[in-house]
Amino acid sequence: MQINLTGHHIDITDALRDYVENKFERLGRHFDHVINAHVVLSVEKLAQKAEATLNVNGGNVFADSTHEDMYAAIDALIDKLDRQVLRHKEKKSSHRGPVAKIAEAEE
């Protein structure tokens, strides 16, 4: 998966980049059809914000998270994306399930 990391009013350090890349590996375990990810890390006054858009087969998945700590915002973002990707995966697989069962019942 290709990860594009952008910072608004924040410098993306190597530690932040490594942290984001390690966390995004978790999404690849559940769903390997993620084409690429665009992650934006920004600072707005006292709030640290992390947002991401994933391009997956069948659409896009977007999530954002705001917290006082950037690492906590990234953790919350990954949790949200993980739930959304699992839901997307279940939707994709559930469309085919009943059709196969009906076809087997007719035989």
Strands 34-44 and 47-56: antiparallel
Q: 2-106 has which fold? A: Double Stranded RNA Binding Domain (3.30.160)
Domain spans in the chain, listed from the N-terminal domain onward: 2-106
Between 89 and 53, the higher pLDDT residue:
53
* SS3 call for 96: coil
pLDDT confidence tier of residue 95, bands split at 50, 70 and 90: low
* Predicted TM-score (pTM) of this structure: 0.81
CB atoms within 10 A of CB 100: 9
- In DSSP terms, which residues pair with 8 in a beta bridge? 42
The pLDDT value given to residue 34: 78
Q: Say if residue 54's pLDDT is above 80.
A: yes
